[in-house]
């Protein structure tokens, strides 16, 4: 009988996630995960008896969703809010300038230049995308798997809802949806 070398089960709360651009969200993060991956729709081959599905050739990645606590100065929520404003249509040149000042450097560890398909070169201007890393921890809280998200950026940020009818202190949370180009898995320990 074949028994696995490690029979410990993965726990829901044994993870760490870091974002290079939004450190306060990193600190207050409560929920995240590894998004699903698959083919949009399979190709089909018709035979006399049955239509046979064939594997596709283009993978689709689900967005990364996360839930984080909002600190009382709303810095964690505003990090993503300002990122969205900088990507979208800023209301002023100063707003865009503030966003570009906050951008991470265009070189250094973890930096991958973004290919420009029209010019056949690489963009060296400030980038709107960032990097993120999810570390899955063992039952001993030792990293065993690393998931790297490349070219990640916010697509959606939830509303902040205040309510005077709440009993006692209720800490507010927000949800963010992030898009990225791909993610890669790397085993750290077995």
Annotated domain spans of the chain = 15-32+65-187
In this predicted structure, the answer to whether residue 118 has a pLDDT above a threshold of 90 is no
Radius of gyration for the chain, computed over Cα atoms and rounded to the nearest angstrom: 21
d(CA 110, CA 12) in angstroms, rounded, equals 27
**What is the pLDDT, as a whole number, of residue 41?**
73
Nearest by Cα to 182 from 115, 132, 126: 132
In this predicted structure, the answer to whether residue 116 has a pLDDT above a threshold of 50 is no
Q: What are 139-172's pLDDT values in tens digits? A: 889 999 999 999 999 999 999 999 999 888 999 9
In this predicted structure, the answer to whether residue 69 has a pLDDT above a threshold of 90 is yes
In this predicted structure, the answer to whether residue 182 has a pLDDT above a threshold of 70 is yes
The token pair at 71 is 């600190």
């Amino acid at each position: 009988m074949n028994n696995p070398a490690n029979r410990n089960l993965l726990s829901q709360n044994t993870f760490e996630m870091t974002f290079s651009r939004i450190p306060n969200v990193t600190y207050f993060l409560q929920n995240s995960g590894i998004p699903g991956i698959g083919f949009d729709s399979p190709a089909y081959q018709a035979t006399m008896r049955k239509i046979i599905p064939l594997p596709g050739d283009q993978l689709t990645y689900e967005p990364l969703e996360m839930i984080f606590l909002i600190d009382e100065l709303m810095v964690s929520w505003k990090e993503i809010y300002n990122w969205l404003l900088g990507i979208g249509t800023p209301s002023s040149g100063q707003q865009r300038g503030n966003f570009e000042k906050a951008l991470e450097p265009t070189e250094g560890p973890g930096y991958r230049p973004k290919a420009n398909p029209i010019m056949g070169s690489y963009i060296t201007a400030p980038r709107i995308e960032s990097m993120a890393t999810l570390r899955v921890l063992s039952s001993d809280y030792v990293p065993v798997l690393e998931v790297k998200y490349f070219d990640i950026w916010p697509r959606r940020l939830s509303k902040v809802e205040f309510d005077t009818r709440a009993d006692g202190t209720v800490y507010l949370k927000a949800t963010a949806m992030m898009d990225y180009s791909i993610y890669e898995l790397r085993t750290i320990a077995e």
